[in-house]
Amino acid sequence: MMPNRTERPAPAGRGGAPGRPGAPGSAPGRPGAGGAPAGGGFGKGGRGRGGTQGAFGKGGAGRGKQRKSKRAKRQELEQMSAPSLGGVSVPRGDGNTVVRLRRGSSITDFADKIEANPAALVTVLFHLGEMATATQSLDEDTFELLGVELGYKIQVVSPEDEERELLDSFDIDLDAELEAEGEDDLEKRPAVVTVMGHVDHGKTRLLDAIRNTQVGEGEHGGITQHIGAYQIDFQHDDRERKITFIDTPGHEAFTAMRARGAKVTDIAILVVAADDGVMPQTVEALNHAQAAGVPIVVAVNKIDKDGANPEKIRGQLTEYGLVPEEYGGDTMFVDVSARESLHIDDLLSAVLLTADAALDLRANPNKDARGIAIEANLDKGRGAVATVLVQSGTLRVGDAIVAGSAHGRVRAMFDEDGASVIEAEPSRPVQVLGLSTVPRAGDTFLVTDDERTARQIAEKREAADRNAALAKRRKRISLEDFDKAVAEGKVDTLNLILKGDVSGAVEALEDSLLKIDVGEDVQLRVIHRGVGAITQNDVNLATVDNAIIIGFNVKPAERVAELAEREGVDMRFYSVIYAAIDDIELALKGMLKPEYEEAQLGTAEIREIFRSSKYGNIAGSIVRSGTIRRNSKARVTRDGKLIGDNLTVDSLKRFKDDATEVREGFECGIGLGSFNDLKEGDIIETFEMREKPRV
């Protein structure tokens, strides 16, 4: 029968172009090109090859499926092996795959590690609620979120590990150097002493008396404006001993160096004026020294003045944990007068006795120098000038040196008196000329084989620091993330810094917090308390010791909030003392390691054993009580005796269907993994471990 061309015109397309309607002689079952229903619509379907796809398909049932191109097959294989997340295909880990990234890494760096398309990871991150470009530096929390979604465990390399890996890439292994050093390589080195205390209590004048110079007269207003490092010779026990002194402006630089991981000081001298007593900066200096874990020698200064009361100082410092030896403690107190140079020798003897009793001060001088930059400045005539303290090895003129992101060759060295020095041994402070830029206080320095290596290390350090600065800072610790931090074993002590408007309120808050019953697992420690606004020094201390700052009726000083946000320090502000106590108590109880108890879920009696080559023995059972759940813990008893313990319900079926749980009175098949010692009449008990709430 001739098709009715007027009733059913062919659609425009390859199969039925205008002017070429369907072939009039088409055989039945093989429709022609003009609008046959099998070929369908606007597709390619066509002359005698009409397929059965929909209106817009390619057609082609007449010769079976179309052959796929290699590209289509490859894309299909990629889609099968890489699940789609957020509409894109990305490689997926197994949940245990560890990916190590440097600080400030970007999505591109992560994509290189897992061999993925950076654009695909950007899309996935967008669907997770985070917007970032492929080259933007990301923080650890963002990478952790992305890693969990993709099945990877992200490890952001710590600055210490990062530095170690950087040096390893240049065949510099500091740990191997230390391990290779024998007892015969180590020689005695001088003690490094920091003088700390309250402003105007005589720190610089005391150092003046020790050095027998007039440093104080050159300072503006009598206040130390810079860090100086000096070495003296002292006759002790009939032999000459050297002592290195670091004079700091209070303790800010001391903490700043600690914040960069630099352990510079061996012993701290705490200077307290006998006529003034313990002052706020005295307490701060004491807290910083104790947090650094260095021995303390107390110099009770100004005993020559009217109203001096050294015994009062001893009593006040006893409250802060410094108990004098005459009171049965282990802290040496020496009464001195810097103005009159009284008992200076006794103070130096106390320093050496403390060093000999509490410290093993030895280093290897016969190797390339390693040490710390104490201070640095830019001199118009000499360029970058850095005061460095050699900690091991010997530094010589002409050595290629790298300090932080600065590098160069030692052109000249000078001691504290301006005299030229050819070489500097351990514990010797010297001024170094020849660096390309000014390093930061606390930057480590080391000697390399050549200047090219020093430059490459400095450039890589600078790039790493820049990337880390671009990434958002991760909070060090906060009241909300205690549970996670303790579970990961990162903390077991809550460090607090308390600042208030009046000393009475601070003392009351501290007393109330220390009375909180936290058990034996977790400790509460107040590392500093003070009166007045929260300062940059408080943030520095919190940065070093991973502490939380509690402000009671006080606010941060200028630019302190910026610093705290940049360093990730958690600051809390309260006007009601009970609100602060409640928050800390809840955080501490959340900090406690959880206690678990066993909760029985259900029991099942085995009625029949089914053998399976694939799954092992399957226990055909009836649930006698409770509920049997898949993936729950299980044990098997026979005639009241324990046959198998710490098992897992790997498979659970109702007839041929998988089941999540089976309730009492129903039959089921239970598979216990590789455990096959099952008999009819055995009892399967399932249970789970639940956390006990603390009362």
pLDDT value at position 221?
A: 46
Task: Please tell me the predicted confidence (pLDDT) of residue 393.
Answer: 93
595-692 placed in CATH 2.40.30.10: yes
- The CATH classification number of 479-591 equals 3.40.50.10050
Give the phi and the psi of residue 519 in degrees, each rounded to 5: 80, -165
Burial 657-694 (b: 16+ CB within 10 A, else e): eebebbeeeeebbbbbeebeebeeebbbbbbeeeeeee
Look at residue 204 in the predicted model and tell me its pLDDT: 80
Q: Is there a common fold for 370-470 and 595-692?
A: yes
pLDDT at 255: 61
Phi, psi of 257, deg, nearest 5 = -70, -40
pTM of the predicted model as reported, rounded to 2 decimal places: 0.57
Per-domain residue ranges for the chain?
Answer: 1-18+32-60, 77-157, 190-360, 370-470, 479-591, 595-692
Residue 120 contacts by C-beta under 8 Å, 6 or more apart in sequence?
88, 89, 90, 111
- CATH for 370-470 is 2.40.30.10
Q: What is the pLDDT of residue 1?
A: 45
Give the residue among 227, 85, 103 at the shortest CA–CA distance from 165. 103
- Domain 190-360 class, CATH top level: alpha beta
Residues of the chain with pLDDT under 70: 1-68, 70-89, 158-160, 213-228, 247-262, 468-492, 518-521, 590-595, 692-695
Residue 476: CB partners within 8 Å, gap ≥ 6?
542, 543, 546, 567, 568, 569, 570
- Cα(322)–Cα(442) distance, integer angstroms: 28
